[in-house]
Amino acid sequence: MEKGPLQRLQEIAAEIADLHSAAALLAWDEQVYMPKAGAPARAQQAATLRRLAHEKLTDPQVGELLEQLAAEHRGDPATDAVAAMLRVMNRKYHQATRVPAALVAAEAKAASAAYHAWLQAREEKNFGPFREPLAEVVKIQVEKAEALGYEDARYDALLDLYEPEMRTAEVAAVFARLKDFLVPMLGRLSEVLDRVDDGILYQEFDEDRQWALTLEACRAIGFDFDRGRQDRSVHPFTTACDMDDVRITTRINRGFLGSGLFASLHEAGHGLYEQGIDPAFRRSPLGSPISLGIHESQSRLYENLVGRSRAFWQFFMPKAAAAFPARLEGVTAEDMYRAVNKVAPSLIRVEADEVTYPLHIMVRFELEQALIQGDLTVDDLPGAFDDAMEAYLGLRPANSVEGVLQDIHWSGGYFGYFPTYTLGTLMSVQIFEAARRDLPHLAADMASGRFIPLREWLREHIHRHGSRFMPQELLQRATGSRLDPQPFINYVEEKYSELYGL
């Protein structure tokens, strides 16, 4: 029997998914086990897989099948999985075909040059070597945005790659509300920072025992080690080769207990999302998380709403104490709850606490959006970065490594990526509040080590859907409202007022 257009499209999508899964394993291995000398060959292998996936996606046949199927399948994505699959495939097809091959090649080349220049600039603590290569990256991202198309702001086109259907104006409005709350809040906290002491976290903690403790934490919250694993890497991350093969990584810092534990909880949150996707979506465009924001909502939920809660430490303190009897003798769950929630404004984004982290993101959003819109030049970027840091956080970088050279993202051309960190944080509170409404015993459950009801709630309302719903649709269905910063504002206000006795 002749294959129908739907089956033909599904087979192409499955082949593309296989190539992406293979590429995911190559990337995981490169960070975790690959001997360093393997890097040049690995780069070529990964590029070949990416190119083949791109060729398959941009084959004119795909466009024809999509057109043909669009006429036949007019279903509502909310009730019709085929319609949802076609929506996602259409998005990917148009994103891939609108950008000319020459621009894709130029993008890769510029990113590679900028990455090496960034390393050199950091080495020299001097923005100079990064200036020209970054300007080239920005120029190409502008061209890319123009090629992709947009309705209002040029930055929309890039943002949409990471957070489908999100718009610059909405992010700006949400961030403005957040700034109006966080800057004064941080001002109030700054007077009393020494009321919380986290000294207990900064002692020497045996690495093997820390490792065992991170595994215990991941297992407790429901990460399935029969369908996943944890390894060590320099930068923690999560990779899924399949919903039944999810890899998380962590890093252990001998002198700081918080590093490994919270990295593991964060990545396990990502991992639970990947493990929870409906297996019926395997090898289909619906089989991946829908956006970086939703993905980050799951990691932040487990890192912060769970891992930095009183309930979690009521459960976990005895386990930590058993692992480190000498170090943590006499430390109570309440002591630990306070320690892991210390607010400490600093120049370094990745070390930031719940209160200051969004401020770091706002700095980057403001600047990258201005670069793409043409309102800021790369020449003026270092000064603008330092000014913005001072305005948002009250701190001025002493050098460019603490400042404009801090993050890797821009060197790779990832403009539009930063805001998803904070969008995810905001969503995490919305989603956790919705779960709590449905699970009245949630805090008591967590305090006694029962984390499965929460995982099952998330699986039902978020994880299993994969890419079936657009982010805001998914949020609306799960929480009853679209993106809303108010739950996060309330959460921070309440939690930190109480902690710091404001």
Interface with a copy of itself (CB under 8 A): 14-15, 18-19, 21-23, 25-26, 29, 33-38, 40-42, 44-45, 48-49, 52, 225-229, 231, 241-242, 244-245, 282-283
Please, what is the minimum distance in Å from the beta carbon of residue 351 to a copy of itself?
30
Q: Edge-to-edge strand order for the sheet containing 228-232?
A: 228-232, 245-250, 238-242
User: Which letter does DSSP use for residue 282 in this model?
Assistant: T
**How far is Cα 182 from Cα 362, in angstroms, rounded to an integer?**
11
Of the pair 44, 79, the CB lying nearest a copy of itself is at 44
Please, what is the minimum distance in Å from the beta carbon of residue 12 to a copy of itself?
11
Phi and psi at 397, nearest 5°, equal: -55, 140
Of the pair 45, 68, the CB lying nearest a copy of itself is at 45
- Cα end-to-end span (Å), the chain: 73
Closest by CA position to 264, among listed 310, 312, 311:
312
User: Which letter does DSSP use for residue 3 in this model?
Assistant: P
Q: Concatenate the DSSP letters of all residues of 359-413 into one string.
A: HHHHHHHHHHHHHHHTSS-TTTHHHHHHHHHHHHHS---SSTTTTTTS-SGGGGT
Please, what is the minimum distance in Å from the beta carbon of residue 61 to a copy of itself?
15
Q: Which of 163, 267, 296, 473 is catalytic?
A: 267
Helix axis angle for 154-162 and 128-148, nearest 10°, is: 90
Of the pair 49, 483, the CB lying nearest a copy of itself is at 49
Q: Tokens for 169?
A: 């104006």
267 is catalytic: yes
Closest by CA position to 420, among listed 297, 246, 322:
297
Catalytic residues: 267
